[in-house]
Amino acid sequence: MANAVSNLPASSADKTSFRRSLGEPRTLVNTGLTVLAVGLSLLAMFPLFSVLYMLLVKGAALLSPSLFTELTPGAGMEGGGIGNAVVGTLVVVLVATAMALPLGFMGAVYLAEYGGDTKLATVVRFCGKVLTGLPPFWRVYSRTRWWWSLPARSARSRAGRRWPS
């Protein structure tokens, strides 16, 4: 807590009043809260590194090029990879983005350019917020509406399993 003022020759008694000392309650509270806040921020960043560390420790040994190219093995089989899952993830993300982007982007354009404080804009904003909090109901659709489950069905029939109706 060295202050520039404290380095000056303390010829005048007035200058001591510019000095910051932890003995003063306001300064003490201020410094304490700063230390606490920075400490909590570092604590908040810890999980990211912990997750990465866990993934590396548990998964690095199996990391190889074939992991990304081969299919998932059957039960009790050696080798194999997650190639189908990688491709599946990419396809799903691409299709989902293609569906969500126009709606999300144009919705944002509407809110920014035309919406303002109108009633529709307020409702749109509210619905957007609610949609972020909705749990994944897609399971519901894939079980109750056959066309939602077409991709899953074809995958299952290829795997030779009967789809419960």
Partner 1 sequence: MADIGLKQAAAGPDLTEAFRSPVSRPPSAWQKNFDVAFKYVAHAFGAGVVLLLGGVVFEVMRHAKTAMADYGLRFLTTSTWDANRAEFGILAEIVGTLYTSILALGIGGFLGITVALVLSQGFVPRRMELVMKNVIELLAAIPSVVYGLWGIFVLVPAVRGPAGWLNEHFGSIPFFSTRLSGPGILPAALVLSIMILPTVTAISREAMAAVPKRLAAAAYGLGATRWEVIFKVTLPTAVGGIFGALVLGFGRALGETMALAMLVGNANVFGLSLFSPGNTLAALLANHFPEAGQVEVGALMYAAVVLMLITLTVNALGSFLMLRTTRELKGLG
Out of 5, 109, 150, 152, the residue judged to bind partner 1 by CB under 8 A = 109
d(CA 80, CA 68): 9
What is the phi/psi pair of residue 53, to 5°? Answer: -65, -45
Q: Is 63 in the site for partner 1 (CB under 8 A)?
A: no
Q: Which is nearer to partner 1, 68 or 110 (CB)?
A: 110
**What letters, b where the CB count within 10 A reaches 16 and e where it falls short, cover 47-72?**
eeeeeeeeeeeeeeeeeeeeeeeeee
Between 111 and 150, how does the x/- string for binding to partner 1 read (CB under 8 A)? Answer: x-xxx----xx-xx-xxxxxxxxxxxx-xxx-xx------
| C-alpha triplet 63, 65, 66: angle, nearest 5° | 95
Binding site for partner 1 (CB under 8 A): 26-27, 29-30, 33-34, 37-38, 40-41, 43-45, 47-48, 50-51, 54-55, 58, 102-103, 106-107, 109-111, 113-115, 120-121, 123-124, 126-137, 139-141, 143-144
